[in-house]
Structure 1
């Protein structure tokens, strides 16, 4: 009987904890306006490539994220906020022009490598956002674009 009581108490505690954490918010990544350092304001980005980047990269690598419905549920909201913060620390297309030329070139190399190898967008992202998956030809378009921007920077 004690074991049942302990399990019941533990379950009640977990349920109450889940309810309480719903009231602890996390920051959202929604910019009011396009940054002056935005990639497309300083470098030529063909419409097709811009569409691919926005669809497959910008949720984690820009100042504006389009959040899914489950972002309203804790602890998922915290996890998403941390994931977006991490993505922006690695690469932020909305702050790209503020990077040094060396860092821009490094980031373009990383884009090329991760897109070519199918590492980006992350599989955990494309499971939910299936339209963010990149075909081989779309990957090639992004890689070619990155090479052209590298030439502009050099």
Structure 2
């Protein structure tokens, strides 16, 4: 039992050497999404940590393997929709991203694993409806 615990501890320590990059690339404020204040406020509270360049990296994002999972989630989220560079998207890209927001705001976002540690990010039914209406997407 002691040997297994020692091996586990050594592996855990070795994992800490493999760190992922946690970046918040500064983008021009002119590129940030232009949305009504009530919509932008919801995005900032519930979406920006993953879907913008304004990620607040919590202390546990420095501990592997959590750091790997969190960094991967943020990287994938920014690739899907990044509110910090919204105005750099073409009209066609914006249209596709609005459709994605429309579809996922009820089904998948924010992730429950995120809400577990950020309760204020959980969207109410009214907020979800408000965002869907704002997208202008027709079912």
Compute the TM-score of the two structures, normalised by the length of structure 1. 0.79
Q: Take 1:27 and 1:109, find their aligned partners in 2: how far apart are those partners?
A: 30
- Structure 2 counterpart of 1:79: 69
2:97 is equivalent to residue 107 of structure 1: yes
Runs (4+) of structure 1 moved beyond 6 Å? none
Q: Where do 5+ consecutive residues of structure 2 fail to align? A: none
Q: Secondary structure at the match of 2:55?
A: coil
Q: Where do 5+ consecutive residues of structure 1 fail to align? A: 1-6
Q: Contact conserved, 1:21 with 1:74, CA < 8 A, in 2?
A: yes
Compute the TM-score of the two structures, normalised by the length of structure 2. 0.86
2:129 is equivalent to residue 140 of structure 1: yes
Residue deviations 1:51-109, cap 9 Å, x none? Answer: 10011111111112112221121111111001100111111111222222111101101
Q: Contact conserved, 2:27 with 2:53, CA < 8 A, in 1?
A: no
2:12 is equivalent to residue 22 of structure 1: no
Q: Contact conserved, 1:29 with 1:64, CA < 8 A, in 2?
A: no
Larger radius of gyration: 1
